[in-house]
């Protein structure tokens, strides 16, 4: 079996410890600490449920012991595909307490992605809700368990049918294992997937908890803060920047929104006294527009964080007038590096940049395509290395060869400019993915699906600017003979059981793709030309 490892070179690890970044904290110890220090405070609110830290921890500890009693062993991986409900936090903390490694899938993922995550991570168990957002996860789990030999256990929150109900996992916390090595891998997060299927990102206790602690500090969280999780809790932004984990690190209250819609969230902000919320740009713009009409009481809201995709500065300027709160831009990635504009920064920084790194030990290198550093003020490729950025993906030699330099810098694929004070402005990206309202879609992955269609001879997928989504996906399809109807292609893709957000927003048929005298041009260049052709037309 392939155990996740996160090899920080010894010299850098020693430096991060000496600097006090890595303090040997682990998730199981963190849960005990918050239960101890903040026991009576409300840890999480969701629907009609409110759990204190003591209650959340007690539940997590009993579940953890139940998971081990079922035959799982510390170090085993467990795929978690859960919506924004308190039980999700219970499950994640339980996995940590049991020394099991959560692997996170988004609720929108379907069979294709889930099977990939299960296989890549060698997960032995899969945690799902019975139903969420109109989708029944049990038939999916049934199918996967019948077809993937490594998947032994399915745990269901709600009506379990033949599976194990979360509530039935009730063990003796005295049986829980000793705390893990702080430098060991705590969980696997999923990558945005710029080439092919998502890669798995191994994060350690030491590195992630450092980013949580600093994120909570930078975002001004105290035990009196109330963090609204409006985006899916499995997303790295919602989890860690500062996210619900950062909020709980600080002993604050996490308020879970079932959906990010303005009516739902405005009500929660008012009723629960939410102080900080995090959104992707299209939702922030939706909230701004809705607030004009709905005139909600958002007086408790001090900070709106916006990240996951570029927030246009004109939109950033509208946040305070419309919502009455400060805006904080967040430019992060599940692989590590997170940048924040700081609370109280001047307006031009807050509206015009995507922030600066968390850590003085985040090494930021901006290069031209030949790999030579460019001066500040000049756009270039962002590479980074530091105390909470991974050094390798889990079990993926090809991706590692592509994504990391010999001395351990991660190639983010983003094109940025560094300005005064180390603030970064995102200019674009070098990789071919579509950032659709913060959801990253690999062009290559979608092209591969399209090429499997019998009536498709060739296909090229590109991103197109979109007023509502930031970017939408457009598939150029060269048919084999008569072109099928776009709706037929879309339906066919949905039947391939992929996340709905990956189905092309637009399908255009072409007679063929450009070739040059020396043969076929690269797909990268082809995508660039097709993108340009759309921009010319619009
Ligand atoms: C432009 N592009 C951005 C921004 C991310 C905090 C916040 C976001 C993520 C995230 C995260 C951007 N402006 N403000 O994990 O902890 C694009 C970049 C980046 C990629 C990473 C966090 N914020 N992006 O979005 O792993 O292209 O993480 O490399 O999903 O999103 O995507 P992801």
What would the DSSP string read from start to end of 373-433? Answer: B--TTS-EEEEEE-TTS-SS-TT-HHHHHHHB-TT--EEEEEEEEE-GGG-EEEEEESS-E
Give 55 Cα–ligand 1 centroid separation in angstroms: 33
Q: DSSP letter at 484?
A: P
Beta bridge partners of 162: none
Which residue's alpha carbon is at the smallest distance from atom 27 of ligand 1?
Answer: 414
Q: Where are the beta strands (DSSP E) in 69-182?
A: 77-80, 101-104, 125-129, 131-132, 135-136, 153-157, 164-165
pLDDT at site 516: 58
Residue 464 pLDDT greater than 70, yes or no: yes
Confidence of residue 525 (pLDDT cuts 50, 70, 90): confident
**What fold does the segment set 433-537 form as a domain?**
GMP Synthetase; Chain A, domain 3 (3.30.300)
Beta bridge partners of 442: 433
Report the pLDDT averaged over residues 171-181. Answer: 97
Residue 536 pLDDT greater than 80, yes or no: no
Residue 324 pLDDT greater than 60, yes or no: yes
pLDDT at site 454: 94
Q: Where are the beta strands (DSSP E) in 230-302?
A: 253-256, 276-279
Give the whole-angstrom CA distance, residue 42 versus residue 119.
37
Give the whole-angstrom CA distance, residue 309 versus residue 471.
9
> How open is the CA angle 7-31-84, to the nearest 5 degrees?
90
Tokens matching residue 191: 């990558």
Name the percent of the chain lying above pLDDT 90.
Answer: 91
pLDDT at site 197: 82
Residue 133 pLDDT greater than 80, yes or no: yes
pLDDT at site 513: 86
Ligand 1: list residues with CB < 6 Å: 192, 236-237, 240-241, 307-310, 329-334, 338, 354, 412, 414, 426, 429, 435, 438, 440
Ligand 1 atom closest to the Cα of residue 354 is 14
**What fold does the segment set 27-39+49-179 form as a domain?**
Rossmann fold (3.40.50)
Dihedral sign (CA 410, 417, 234, 38) = positive
Q: DSSP letter at 173?
A: G
Report the pLDDT averaged over residues 519-532. Answer: 77
Confidence of residue 521 (pLDDT cuts 50, 70, 90): low
Lowest mean pLDDT of 130-139, 157-166, 397-406, 427-436, name the range. 427-436
pLDDT tens for 146-167 read 999 999 999 999 999 999 999 9
pLDDT at site 299: 98
Tokens matching residue 516: 């040059």
Residue 402 pLDDT greater than 70, yes or no: yes
Tokens matching residue 339: 């940048």
Give 454 Cα–ligand 1 centroid separation in angstroms: 35
**Maximum separation of any 2 CA atoms in the chain, in Å:** 73
Beta bridge partners of 136: 131
Tokens matching residue 293: 């009409």
Report the pLDDT averaged over residues 393-397. Answer: 94
Ligand 1 atom closest to the Cα of residue 413 is 29
Confidence of residue 515 (pLDDT cuts 50, 70, 90): low
Which residue's alpha carbon is at the smallest distance from atom 21 of ligand 1?
Answer: 333
Tokens matching residue 467: 């007023």
Which residue's alpha carbon is at the smallest distance from atom 31 of ligand 1?
Answer: 308
Which residue's alpha carbon is at the smallest distance from atom 30 of ligand 1?
Answer: 192
Residue carrying structure tokens 């991060």: 16
Any idea how long the chain is?
Answer: 538
Contact 378/301 with Cβ under 8 angstroms? no
Tokens matching residue 335: 């692989």
> How open is the CA angle 523-529-533, to the nearest 5 degrees?
140
pLDDT tens for 466-505 read 999 999 999 999 999 999 999 999 999 999 999 999 999 9
Q: Is 50 exposed, middle or buried (0-12, 13-18, 19+ CB in 10 A)?
A: middle
On average, the pLDDT of the chain sits at 95
Q: Where are the beta strands (DSSP E) in 272-346?
A: 276-279, 303-307, 326-333, 336-340
Beta bridge partners of 202: 188
Which residue's alpha carbon is at the smallest distance from atom 5 of ligand 1?
Answer: 308
Ligand 1 atom closest to the Cα of residue 426 is 1
pLDDT at site 215: 98
- Using CA atoms, how far residue 156 sits from 89, 132, 467, 522, in Å, is 14, 12, 39, 46
Confidence of residue 7 (pLDDT cuts 50, 70, 90): confident
pLDDT tens for 187-238 read 999 997 666 788 999 999 999 999 999 999 999 999 999 999 999 999 999 9
pLDDT at site 44: 98
Ligand 1 atom closest to the Cα of residue 240 is 16
Residue 319 pLDDT greater than 60, yes or no: yes
Which residue's alpha carbon is at the smallest distance from atom 15 of ligand 1?
Answer: 333
Query: Where exactly are the structural domains of the chain?
Result: 27-39+49-179, 433-537
Contact 351/326 with Cβ under 8 angstroms? no
Give the whole-angstrom CA distance, residue 342 versus residue 327.
10
Ligand 1 atom closest to the Cα of residue 191 is 26
Beta bridge partners of 438: none
Residue 517 pLDDT greater than 70, yes or no: no
φ, ψ of residue 14 to 5 degrees: the values are -65, -40
Could you tell me where the DSSP H helices lie in 295-383?
A: 313-323, 347-352
Give 2 Cα–ligand 1 centroid separation in angstroms: 28
Confidence of residue 522 (pLDDT cuts 50, 70, 90): confident
- Using CA atoms, how far residue 55 sits from 31, 36, 44, 52, 271, in Å, is 11, 11, 10, 5, 22
Parallel/antiparallel/unpaired status of strands 363-367 and 380-385: antiparallel
Q: What is the dihedral of CA 258, 260, 264, 270, to 10 degrees?
A: 110
Give the whole-angstrom CA distance, residue 25 versus residue 79.
24
């Amino acid at each position: 079996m392939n155990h996740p490892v996160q090899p920080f070179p010894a010299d850098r690890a020693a430096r991060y410890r000496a600097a006090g970044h890595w303090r040997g904290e682990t998730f199981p110890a963190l849960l005990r600490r918050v239960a101890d220090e903040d026991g009576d405070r409300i840890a999480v609110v969701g629907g009609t449920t409110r759990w204190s830290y003591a209650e959340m921890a007690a539940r997590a500890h009993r579940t953890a012991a139940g998971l081990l009693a079922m035959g799982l062993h510390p170090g085993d991986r467990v795929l978690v595909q859960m919506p924004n409900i308190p039980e999700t936090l219970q499950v994640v903390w339980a996995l940590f307490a049991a020394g099991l490694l959560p692997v996170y899938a988004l609720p929108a993922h379907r069979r294709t992605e889930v099977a990939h995550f299960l296989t890549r991570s060698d997960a032995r168990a899969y945690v799902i809700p019975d139903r969420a957002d109109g989708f029944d996860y049990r038939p999916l789990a049934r199918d996967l368990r019948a077809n993937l030999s490594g998947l032994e256990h399915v745990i269901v929150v709600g009506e379990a049918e033949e599976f194990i109900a979360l509530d039935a996992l009730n063990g003796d916390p005295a049986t829980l294992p000793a705390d893990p090595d702080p430098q060991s891998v705590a969980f696997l997060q999923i990558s945005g997937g710029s080439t092919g299927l998502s890669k798995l990102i191994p994060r350690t206790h030491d590195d992630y908890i450092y980013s949580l602690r600093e994120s909570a500090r930078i975002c001004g969280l105290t035990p009196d803060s109330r963090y609204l999780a409006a985006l899916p809790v499995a997303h790295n932004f919602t989890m860690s920047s500062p996210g619900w984990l950062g909020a709980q690190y600080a002993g604050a209250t996490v308020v879970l929104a079932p959906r990010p819609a303005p009516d739902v969230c405005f009500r929660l902000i008012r009723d629960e006294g939410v102080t900080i919320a995090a959104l992707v740009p299209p939702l922030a713009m939706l909230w701004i527009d809705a607030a004009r009409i709905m005139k909600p009481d958002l007086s408790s809201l001090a900070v709106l964080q916006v990240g996951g995709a570029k927030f246009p500065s004109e939109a950033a300027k509208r946040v305070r007038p419309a919502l009455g709160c400060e805006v904080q831009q967040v430019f992060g990635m599940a692989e590590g590096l997170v940048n924040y504009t700081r609370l109280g920064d001047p307006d031009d920084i807050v509206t015009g940049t995507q922030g600066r790194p968390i850590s003085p030990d985040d090494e930021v290198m901006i290069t031209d395509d030949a790999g030579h550093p460019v001066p500040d003020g000049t756009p270039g490729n962002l590479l980074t290395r530091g105390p909470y950025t991974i050094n390798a993906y889990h079990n993926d030699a090809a991706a590692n060869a592509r994504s990391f330099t010999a001395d351990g810098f991660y190639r983010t694929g983003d094109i940025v400019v560094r300005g005064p004070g180390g603030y970064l402005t995102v200019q674009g990206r070098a990789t071919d993915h579509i950032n659709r309202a913060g959801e990253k879609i690999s062009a290559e992955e979608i092209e591969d699906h399209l090429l499997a269609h019998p009536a498709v001879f060739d296909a090229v997928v590109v991103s197109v600017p979109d007023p509502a989504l930031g970017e939408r996906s457009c598939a150029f399809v060269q048919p084999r003979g008569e072109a099928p109807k776009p709706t037929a292609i879309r339906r066919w893709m949905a039947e391939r059981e992929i996340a709905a957000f990956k189905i092309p927003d637009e399908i255009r048929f072409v007679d063929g793709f450009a070739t040059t005298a020396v043969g076929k041009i690269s797909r990268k260049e082809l995508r660039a030309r097709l993108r340009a052709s759309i921009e010319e037309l619009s």
